[in-house]
Amino acid sequence: MKIKWYISALIIVFAVLGMSQEQSVVPNQEVLLQFSNNKIDVSEKQEALLTVKQQLKSVGAKHIQVRELKNGTLKITYLSITNTANVEAALSNTIDVESTKDGETPLNQDKKTYNLDVYEILKANDSTSGIGDKFVFELKQEYVRFYNPNVVLYCVNIVNNETTNLVKVAYKINKSVASAIDNYSYKIPEVRAGPIC
């Protein structure tokens, strides 16, 4: 009896601990910080990262996580209610950033140049259909329309011949079954056998 109490108490303790745990926060935005100079020093990279983190915190970002990708790009993910355009404007105004477009070259080669891109991370269950979590598949049907009267007439003739043969066979079978029932119906009693009271 005590074992049941211990097990139920253990389950309740685990349930309370599970509910008291902080929910894991999923980041909703990311910043890709790419250095245009491949020969950048580690201290310069850390300085730029620290500056970006401070500016993200001033914009209202929480739970900032940093990962370095294979090509040397820093991927900074965070949770923020501020939209990406405002975050990018705040970062480009406060940090000495030259966002280089394709084909452009920076004016000053001596400056440290960064390429900053701010993206919204879309959740996997976001649907664009507007009906919640349900997925709607659109079936695309292609119709190939052509008219070949020979095939249609040929099929109709085959169906008529087969139908006629089936009807003839069914008539013969049912005729013999009906005649068999009529011939032997006097041998099968239709009432209960027993004494008359």
Give tens-digit pLDDT for 11-57: 999 888 887 776 667 778 888 888 777 677 778 888 888 888 888 88
Residues in the chain: 197
What distances in angstroms separate CA 14 from CA 6, 11, 18, 54, 191, one per listed residue?
A: 12, 5, 6, 38, 75
Q: Note if the pTM is more than 0.75.
A: no
The number of angstroms, rounded, from the C-alpha of 61 to the middle of its chain's C-alpha atoms is 27
DSSP E strands: which ranges in the chain? 29-35, 62-68, 74-79, 114-120
121: which 2 tokens?
């991370």
E strands along 17-124, which residues? 29-35, 62-68, 74-79, 114-120
pLDDT for 78-122, tens place per residue? 888 888 888 888 887 655 444 444 444 444 444 557 778 888 887
DSSP state of 111: S
